[in-house]
A and B are shown apart, each in its own frame.
Chain A
Amino acid sequence: DTEVTQTPKHLVMGMTNKKSLKCEQHMGHRAMYWYKQKAKKPPELMFVYSYEKLSINESVPSRFSPECPNSSLLNLHLHALQPEDSALYLCASSQEGGRGALYEQYFGPGTRLTVT
């Protein structure tokens, strides 16, 4: 199974809502990533988890809160978002948690988030 799944596919939320994005992989990968992608722009790294521990936080605002409950699951908790946070949120995983970027990353299809 070389698939990364993400739910939901689409999410519309108000600025006072709390919601969560979910990501799952069953490839035994020990590195998992959250990216944010605006239209016609490249993905921008937000967080990296390595062996279920947060290893990189790219100075992401605290209204985004990642969580890695186990080696297969990655969540992104959202609270008090702004309209400019509307984007495609991509999850990815790779082998070798310690230096995950040395291996190819497998991406999920993304969650299209709209903040109203």
Chain B
Amino acid sequence: SQQGEEDPQALSIQEGENATMNCSYKTSINNLQWYRQNSGRGLVHLILIRSNEREKHSGRLRVTLDTSKKSSSLLITASRAADTASYFCATDALAAGNKLTFGGGTRVLVKP
């Protein structure tokens, strides 16, 4: 079963715009991770944020975590056509036996 739910399910933006996607989860977590998947390929790790952290940056990526609301957001700034992919949040929850459980994903299309 999915621990995380992502919103929106799909997002279409112009190159240069920012893209924001959200992830909500149900139980307490140790950490939350974001992954990117290009069509039909393996997943690539983007950022890991621990439960005691509130914000993390990596290049054009900004991740926030609000444990009181059990939610996280991923912001991609100045998007490029190469950012077109599916983005998944994944949680490591104690209640799930310390395994990684993925959310449903957000499909992002960046139009040139």
Chain B min CB distance to A21 (Å) = 13
Q: Is the CB of B41 within 8 A of A110?
A: yes
Specify the chain B residue showing the minimal Cβ separation from A109.
B42
Which A residues are in CB contact (< 8 Å) with B99?
Answer: 45, 48, 56, 101
Q: Is the interface of B mostly helix, strand, loop or mixed?
A: strand
Question: Could you show 14 A-B contacts with beta carbons less than 8 Å apart?
Answer: A41-B104, A41-B105, A42-B102, A42-B103, A42-B105, A43-B88, A43-B102, A44-B102, A56-B99, A92-B43, A101-B100, A102-B30, A104-B45, A109-B41
Q: Does A107 contact B (CB under 8 A)?
A: yes
Interface residues of A (CB under 8 A from B): 4, 33, 40-45, 48, 56, 88, 90, 92, 99-110, 112
Q: Are B2 and A106 within 8 A (Cβ)?
A: no
Task: Check: B24 CB closer than 8 A to any chain A CB.
Answer: no
Interface string of B83-106 (1 = CB under 8 A from A): 000001000100001111111110
Given that A42-B104, A101-B99, A102-B98 are known contacts, is A107 also in contact with B40, CB under 8 Å in the complex? no
